[in-house]
Chains A and B, each alone.
Chain A
């Protein structure tokens, strides 16, 4: 507090360049030392907070932070997220949720590069901190449009498995939920027969199901489906609190995919095995959970990226599936957020301070966070 006052006193008298230096040395304005999202409030709005390295490794080691931002965090040698209005809003709502009531669905929407995924990352961090079991899909588009491999499902005839991606996701899930999975109460409620010799017994720990999917990649998709169902049942019984976080959720409803059958026919997302599981956990017919989803035009093909609005992206079916949901808009940077971001870049020595720089960059980027990052990045 004292420092802030002294800075303002200084600022009134000193010339501009020295004032800039003072701002650079006192980092209170654009940074907050509070690294627990549950303590973030509107007073922290537009401030950066640092995600501790161990938490970052646990949460986002297998995705969750967009690639370009991830590169930037490496350059800055720290993972900082800006506390912004949408995630604050969602966290505020989650705090007041009655977990015995049906699941609330939050849908983050906004233009390309406005920070939906990072808002989701912030909420996921909150979920970890508050001990939620996190069912986090870093990017649905990865499955529907850039899947590594596809094959006809053995256990569910007519469906198509994306086993490699499913196994990767199981690893991601396992790492993210290391804090909850040690809980011995999380047992599965039904037998899973994979083949003549392979079987997961009722009453086994949920970790066994995950391990099976990872080691027997052939069944990974079905494991994901089973896992979703089991988590739903466990939450209903009150064994755990779940946070479903899915980025690019509209990918589950966008009819054109790049998943094919063995005859090279295009498969609609509803015929991809994992879809069913994630649609199941985004219904409202369970409790002890919360869903935070994002809809993003990038999850659909280029020719259909006409609007960023949720109903357009989800389609009639998707809208009816989620209705009633809480739409949360992620907008471009406000002036305060923009200044804060530029201050942060200057502190990281990412941009050279120059007079009139902020206004110019604000015009060039249209205050779009992603564009600003690109303009300020190296060649």
Chain B
């Protein structure tokens, strides 16, 4: 066999039945297509080529602000807090910075959306809301005409917040927090219990304003936190009046400040004059000078004060400034 016949035999004659089968099975059967069932064509042909659906741009409505009447009720258009929307706000706003040209206008302007707005709190809206709330209010008591009277009759200030917003839950975790404020001077203390109370409340006491502030947030509801705060106030007060057995062991060295009556200084002066310190006319100012000297620490000023008071106590001439 020549080379040509061998190649022909291999490529054409042997493949022939396969090709023929493929061809026939994919051939569109026009007659069958007309019948009740459509034919599934596994192999596409030009005759049934897929036509791409043409994209139609959705129709964009013109901005709503174009249709707004000038005398509309703005409170109805923008009833609650909301991110800025350019089509709703009928104002020619511009915000942001570009290197050349004017700042970008309100459409697709992220700068305007980022900042919080108060478009829901325009003065007429506030007025309307106040008017609506007014029927729920009672007149302010005349007896509480000023702040001093308020503080006198209502020494406790309870601060808590309620939140109202549209979300699946009506609970806000922040609403549970209760803050209680009162003046320390409204509670009755002696020196020891006051000291103990201050140690117990720690930094909850502000020495500049004189207020104690207790914040409770450990319970899940506001009511529970309020009760807990009240419990704390009561417990702290009574605890500060308690005297433990070990407190009696406190010696002079443990004192946080110098108390003249408990110290050697008083004994010395009494011995020096041979009478009680109450009977010594100048002992009061001397005691004050010693207390200042001891409590404020040694400085030229406190020492000079001490010296002057000793001179008065002992009846010596005052220091004269010669120069």
| Interface set of A (CB-CB < 8 Å, partner B) | 42, 45-46, 85, 88-89, 92-93, 96-98, 101-102, 104, 284-285, 307, 309-312, 320, 323-329, 334, 336-337
Contacts and interface: CB of A to CB of B under 8 A. Distances in A.
A112 B125 CA distance: 78
B320 A327 contact: no
A307 B313 CA distance: 27
A331 B130 CA distance: 72
B88 to A, nearest CB: 74
A329 B321 CA distance: 12
Nearest to A324: B310
Contacts of B317: 92-93, 96
6 contacts: A42-B320, A85-B321, A104-B316, A323-B265, A324-B286, A326-B310
Interface in B295-323: 298-300, 303-304, 306-307, 310-311, 313-317, 319-323
Contact of B314 (A85, A104, A307, A336): A104
Given A85-B323, A92-B317, A104-B314, A328 B307 contact: yes
B137 interface: no
B272 interface: yes
B268 A324 contact: yes
A46 B268 contact: no
A284 B265 CA distance: 13
A326 B322 contact: no
B269 interface: yes
B271 interface: yes
B208 interface: no
A309 B314 contact: no
B71 interface: no
B168 to A, nearest CB: 69
B264 interface: yes
Given A97-B316, A104-B316, A327-B306, A320 B268 contact: yes
Given A102-B272, A320-B268, A323-B264, 19 more contacts: A42-B320, A45-B322, A45-B323, A85-B321, A89-B320, A285-B271, A309-B299, A311-B298, A320-B263, A320-B264, A323-B265, A324-B265, A324-B286, A326-B311, A327-B304, A327-B307, A329-B300, A334-B323, A337-B323
Contacts of A328: 307
A90 B264 CA distance: 26
A173 B314 CA distance: 29
Contacts of A46: 323
Nearest to A83: B322
Contact of B298 (A284, A312, A325): A312
Contact of A42 (B299, B314, B322): B322
A85 B322 contact: yes
Nearest to A309: B298
B272 A284 contact: yes
A337 B317 CA distance: 24
A97 B293 CA distance: 25
A105 B162 CA distance: 71
Interface in B264-283: 264-265, 268-269, 271-272
A88 B321 CA distance: 10
Contact of A327 (B264, B269, B303): B303
